[in-house]
Amino acid sequence: MSDMADETEARLNAHRRLFVSLLTIIAGDPKFHQALESLVRDNETVSDQEEDPGVEPSRAFAIQGLANDEIRAILKDALARVLAEKRKK
């Protein structure tokens, strides 16, 4: 990997860690916890009946799917941390 790619990956990892930490704090409040859980369930990707991407989805659909997966992963990590913190108490 090039130095630029390593730097970009390190920065993305730092942003992800920060988002998880901030969302963990937010999810500690019950009124926000439910909102974050609904974000995990909600899907921004176009449903099958809404638009036909064709036999092979376009790059835009693939990128949107990857972004949705990452959003869900970040939210799930934050919600899991909240549960772990509650179990410690």
Q: What is the tens place of the pLDDT at every residue in 3-52?
A: 999 999 999 999 999 999 999 999 999 999 999 999 998 866 555 445 55
Backbone angles phi, psi at 54, to 5 degrees: 95, -175
For residue 60, being part of any structural domain is answered with yes
User: Rounded to two decimals, what is the model's pTM?
Assistant: 0.77
For residue 65, being part of any structural domain is answered with yes
Beta carbons of 41 and 79 less than 8 angstroms apart: no
pLDDT of residue 84: 95
State the residue range of the domain holding 22.
Answer: 3-44+56-88
For residue 49, being part of any structural domain is answered with no
Q: What one-character-per-residue DSSP string does 26-76 give?
A: HHTSHHHHHHHHHHHH---SPPTTT----SS--HHHHHHHHHHHHHHHHHH
For residue 51, being part of any structural domain is answered with no
For residue 71, being part of any structural domain is answered with yes
What is the spatial distance between Cα 41 and Cα 12, in angstroms, rounded to a whole number?
A: 24
pLDDT of residue 58: 75
The residue type of 46 is: V
